[in-house]
């Protein structure tokens, strides 16, 4: 073997060894973090498990707070799907609570002052207007699947939802399957609950990247495109979700 060939082989071996060591280091850190999360969840009386579904690594938690049973997921897209798709992070919280509504509502969290949604382009009865509305509805339906999970997304025809204009909720764009019911539910307490929460210091719903809120006959959910950084952030989701259950006059445990 020539000297140049030996140098190349040595370089390849060194590079491969460095990659292996780095991989082991990263894996070790992930495992240590998972053990810490598992321990912290157990001390709070919650269950914790790690699963892989549809290319996602998911940390799943279950517990009960103030009599409301809930499940939360912190998901990271790590493999599979479209190779052009960027890595995606999602945090979700689902509370089993019957809010006393007949159809679903989605409150899209946005920075305050950004509630105006540009739908004017779709006004009218022309072909392109109808196509624009259909495309927007399709995109919204897919977004609900991503945010809240395909199982819940399959139960909701988000593309058929329409915007609830009044009463307005600063920091949120409200969509509902039934606009009249959505307006009534907001007026009966949900609007005030969202506004109060978004004005409280250290409340998850008061942040600029506030989560989406889904209200449906079977439960209340919160979700945003970030993983839980730690248990304390999960506790923020729990407090925000439990706080919203108090906004419904005819709500009850599911």
Residue pair 190/196 in contact (Cβ under 8 Å)? The answer is no
pLDDT tens-digit readout, 164-174: 988 999 999 99
Q: CA angle, 209 as apex, 37 and 237 as ends, to 5°?
A: 40
Say if residue 113's pLDDT is above 50: yes
Higher pLDDT, 34 or 189: 189
Q: What is the mean pLDDT of the chain?
A: 81
CA distance 191 to 187: 6
pLDDT at 224: 93
Region of poorest pLDDT, from 32-36, 97-101, 130-134, 148-152: 130-134
Of 253 and 215, more confident: 215
Tens of pLDDT, residue by residue over 50-94, are: 988 878 889 999 999 999 999 999 998 876 544 445 557 899 999
pLDDT value of position 19: 57
**pLDDT at 100 > cutoff 50:** yes
Residue 226 has pLDDT above 60, yes or no: yes
Tell me what the mean pLDDT of segment 111-138 comes to. 59
Domain residue extents for the chain: 1-43, 46-253
Question: Does position 104 have pLDDT exceeding 80, yes or no?
Answer: yes
Report how far residue 115's alpha carbon sits from residue 186's, in angstroms, rounded to the nearest whole number: 16
Q: Contacts by 208-212 with C-beta closer than 8 Å and gap 24+?
A: 208/111, 209/109, 210/109, 210/110, 210/171, 210/172, 211/91, 211/109, 211/237, 211/240, 212/106, 212/107, 212/108, 212/109, 212/147, 212/148
Residue 120, pLDDT above cutoff 50: no
Of 172 and 252, more confident? 172
pLDDT at site 139: 82
């Amino acid at each position: 073997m020539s000297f140049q060939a030996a140098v190349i082989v040595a370089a390849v071996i060194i590079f491969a060894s460095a990659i292996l060591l780095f991989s082991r280091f990263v894996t070790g850190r992930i495992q240590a973090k998972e053990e810490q999360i598992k321990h912290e969840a157990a001390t709070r009386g919650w269950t914790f498990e790690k699963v892989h579904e549809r290319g996602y690594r998911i940390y799943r938690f279950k517990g009960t707070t103030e009599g409301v049973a809930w499940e939360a997921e912190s998901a990271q897209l790590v493999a599979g799907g479209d190779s052009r798709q960027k890595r995606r992070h999602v945090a979700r919280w689902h509370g089993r609570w019957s809010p006393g509504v007949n159809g679903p509502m989605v409150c899209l969290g946005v920075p305050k002052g950004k509630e105006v949604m540009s739908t004017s382009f779709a006004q009218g009865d022309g072909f392109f207007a109808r196509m624009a509305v259909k495309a927007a509805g399709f995109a919204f339906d897919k977004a609900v699947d991503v945010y809240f999970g395909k199982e819940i997304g399959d139960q909701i025809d988000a593309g058929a939802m329409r915007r609830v204009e009044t009463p307005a909720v600063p920091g949120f764009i409200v969509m509902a399957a039934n606009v009249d019911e959505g307006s009534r539910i907001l007026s009966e307490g949900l609007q005030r609950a969202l506004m109060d929460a978004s004005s409280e210091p250290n409340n998850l719903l008061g942040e600029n990247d506030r989560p989406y809120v889904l209200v449906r006959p079977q439960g209340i959910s919160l979700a945003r495109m970030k993983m839980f950084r730690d248990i304390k952030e999960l506790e923020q989701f729990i407090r925000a979700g439990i706080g919203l259950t108090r906004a419904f006059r005819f709500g009850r445990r599911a």
